[in-house]
């Protein structure tokens, strides 16, 4: 299996079935973003996507798993994370904040923000944890596990900064962070992520 | 007017009237934390505190202003911020994260967390902004305004880290951040705040 195929499997996509799956994901993103996790049903998503509810479960498993697939992977993760995976070790911080902010600023950004906000409101903390750790940071954790076993702490510290940046910039819209040019945010935050990823830990 | 008196006025407390005001604040903290902003009424707070609703308005102004007073100042702000105001410039980052985490870990921490969460859910972003900027960071902004005019950016960057720390540690409970010893969190985060407060800006 090539890396690309492996990535697709992990993201819940399988080559050749993309029509129905993409339709389900598109509907799920919109519904979850507008109605939140609890008030969105698999049945409603299936109906709007023109498929049977059983097919949604077959492709995505539980509603939680569909939610993660829908909000965590708004675009092909290999595309989003490719610059991070390709970055030199000393550039990881800048590459990661750049990649994440590109998603927020993309056409999917609004859905990501709304979904994140509804998760906080509904207290589905397990899901956020798995979203941050399993999906966003999984790919790079192996590169920053020095000393061995430190990767979870490093990823958690990154999550503490990036979740707060999402909060202040896109949800709470705290000025001047909300209106700051992307390049200035990246330059401000990158050294923080770099230290969390590769710097000494207490 | 002494600094202490000035502080008390700013925090909404006046010497000699502390009985009714403290009762109102105590009830407001509990109600806001459990029911959120929208579902908590001034009338209900007044009734439970054994005072007239007009007295609540007289002391605290609008419901929003009462909310800020109740959640933003869980203890005497001069006590909480004293170590920060007394800290050497090169120790500001550690002093600030230490002071803020002490509030989260205090008896008032649960109410602060619940209130913050309900604000996010209800989208009352103006209030959060004023809470972060006017109350928490106001005292130290003057010390970090170098070059002149940079304080709001510095305060915003601090807010981006500390709001995310509150989120990952106390609301989303992302491990290993949620269970990390306070001293380890302080040592990890302090250099970030120090750079945001006194370091070069892009």
Confidence of residue B15 (pLDDT cuts 50, 70, 90): very low
Which of the residue ranges A57-71, A96-110, B18-32, B51-65 has the most confident prediction, judged by mean pLDDT?
B51-65
Higher pLDDT, A126 or B154: B154
Q: What percent of chain B has pLDDT over 90?
A: 38
pLDDT tens string A137-176: 666 777 899 999 999 899 899 989 999 999 889 888 888 9
Shortest CB distance from B184 goes to which of A128, A183, A202?
A202
Mean pLDDT, all residues of chain A: 80
Transcribe B157-194 into DSSP letters.
HHHHHHHHHHIIIIIS--TTTTTS-HHHHHHHHHHHHH
pLDDT tens string B99-115: 889 888 887 777 777 77
- What is the reported pLDDT for B9? 40
Interface test with B, best of A128, A166, A174, A181 (most B CBs within 10 A): A174
Cβ of residue B137 closer than 8 Å to a chain A Cβ: no
- What is the reported pLDDT for B78? 57
- What is the reported pLDDT for A114? 72
Of A189, A153, A179, the C-alpha closest to B161 is A189
Contacts of B51 (CB under 8 A, 6+ apart): B20, B23, B24
CA distance B163 to B166: 5
Q: Which of residues 173-202 of A touch B (CB under 8 A)?
A: 173-177, 180, 183-184, 187-189, 191-192, 195-196, 201-202
Is the pLDDT score of A51 beyond 70?
A: yes
- What is the reported pLDDT for A131? 58
- What is the reported pLDDT for A199? 96
Q: What number of other Cβ atoms are within 10 A of residue A90's Cβ?
A: 10
Higher pLDDT, A56 or A7: A56
Shortest CB distance from B202 goes to which of A132, A188, A195?
A188
Q: Closest chain A residue to B163 measured between Cα atoms?
A: A164
Higher pLDDT, B127 or B140: B140
Q: Which of residues 146-165 of B touch A (CB under 8 A)?
A: 152-153, 156-157, 159-165
**Alpha-helical runs (H) found in A36-181:** 42-49, 53-60, 63-72, 77-86, 92-104, 109-122, 125-130, 138-141, 151-166
Positive or negative torsion for Cα B148, B166, B10, B35: positive
Mean pLDDT, residues A34-59: 89
Mean pLDDT, all residues of chain B: 80
Shortest CB distance from B187 goes to which of A166, A187, A202?
A202
Mean pLDDT, residues A109-116: 74
CA A88 to chain centroid, in Å, comes to: 22
- What is the reported pLDDT for A154? 93
- What is the reported pLDDT for B183? 97
Of B181, B168, B164, B158, the C-alpha closest to A133 is B168
Mean pLDDT, residues A52-80: 77
Shortest CB distance from A173 goes to which of B125, B191, B192?
B125
Is the pLDDT score of B24 beyond 80?
A: yes
Q: Which pTM does this prediction carry?
A: 0.73
pLDDT tens string B48-83: 999 999 999 999 888 877 877 776 555 555 567 788
Is the pLDDT score of B87 beyond 70?
A: yes
CA distance B160 to B21: 32
Q: What percent of chain A has pLDDT over 90?
A: 38
Q: Three-class SS of residue A52?
A: coil
Q: Is B111 exposed, middle or buried (0-12, 13-18, 19+ CB in 10 A)?
A: buried
- What is the reported pLDDT for B181? 97
CA distance A92 to A198: 8
From residue A112, alpha-carbon distances to A75, A128, B129 in Å are: 11, 12, 21
- Is A187–B202 a contact, with Cβ atoms under 8 angstroms apart? yes
Altogether, the residues listed in chain A come to a count of 202
Chain B environment of A152 (Cβ under 8 Å): 175-176
**Structural tokens at position B103:** 């509030």
Shortest CB distance from B201 goes to which of A173, A188, A196?
A188
- Is A156–B176 a contact, with Cβ atoms under 8 angstroms apart? yes
Judge whether A84 and A142 are in contact, CB under 8 Å: no
Higher pLDDT, B108 or B192: B192
Is the pLDDT score of B192 beyond 90?
A: yes
- What is the reported pLDDT for A147? 93
Is the pLDDT score of A81 beyond 50?
A: yes
- What is the reported pLDDT for B76? 55
- Is A164–B161 a contact, with Cβ atoms under 8 angstroms apart? yes
Task: Give the end-to-end CA distance of chain B in Å, rounded to a whole number.
Answer: 40
Altogether, the residues listed in chain B come to a count of 202
Q: Closest chain B residue to A173 measured between Cα atoms?
A: B125
Task: Give the end-to-end CA distance of chain A in Å, rounded to a whole number.
Answer: 40
A-B CB pairs within 8 A amount to 134
Q: What percent of chain B has pLDDT over 70?
A: 74
Which range is least confidently modeled, A89-103, B39-53, B116-130?
B116-130
Judge whether A161 and B192 are in contact, CB under 8 Å: yes
CA distance A136 to A139: 7
- What is the reported pLDDT for B189? 98
CA distance A61 to A38: 16
Could you give the angle at which helices A42-49 and A53-60 cross, rounded to 10 degrees?
A: 110
Q: Closest chain A residue to B192 measured between Cα atoms?
A: A192
Judge whether A85 and A149 are in contact, CB under 8 Å: no
- Is A160–B202 a contact, with Cβ atoms under 8 angstroms apart? no
Higher pLDDT, A180 or A115: A180
Mean pLDDT, residues A45-71: 88
Rounded to 10 degrees, the C-alpha dihedral A88/A94/A96/A99 comes to: -110
Taking CB atoms within 8 Å and a gap of at least 24, the contacts of B50-56 are: B50/B23, B51/B20, B51/B23, B51/B24, B55/B20, B55/B24, B56/B24
Chain B environment of A166 (Cβ under 8 Å): 164
- What is the reported pLDDT for A180? 97
């Amino acid at each position: 299996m090539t890396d690309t195929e492996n990535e697709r499997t992990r993201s819940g996509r399988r080559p050749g079935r993309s029509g129905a799956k993409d339709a389900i994901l598109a509907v799920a993103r919109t519904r979850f973003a507008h109605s939140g996790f609890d008030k969105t049903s698999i049945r409603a998503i299936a109906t709007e996507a023109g498929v049977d509810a059983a097919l949604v479960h077959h492709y995505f498993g539980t509603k939680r798993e569909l939610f993660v697939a829908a909000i965590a992977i708004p675009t092909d993760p290999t595309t989003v994370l490719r610059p991070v995976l390709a970055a030199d070790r000393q550039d990881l911080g800048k590459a990661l904040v750049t990649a994440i902010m590109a998603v927020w600023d993309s056409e999917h950004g609004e859905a990501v923000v709304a979904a994140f906000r509804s998760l906080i409101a509904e207290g589905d903390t397990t899901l956020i944890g798995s979203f941050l750790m399993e999906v966003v940071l999984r790919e790079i954790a192996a590169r920053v596990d020095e000393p061995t076993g430190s990767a979870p702490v490093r990823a958690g510290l990154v999550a503490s900064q990036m979740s707060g940046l999402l909060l202040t910039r896109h949800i709470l819209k705290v000025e001047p962070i909300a209106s700051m040019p992307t390049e200035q945010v990246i330059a401000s935050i990158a050294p923080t992520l770099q230290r969390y990823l590769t710097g000494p830990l207490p």
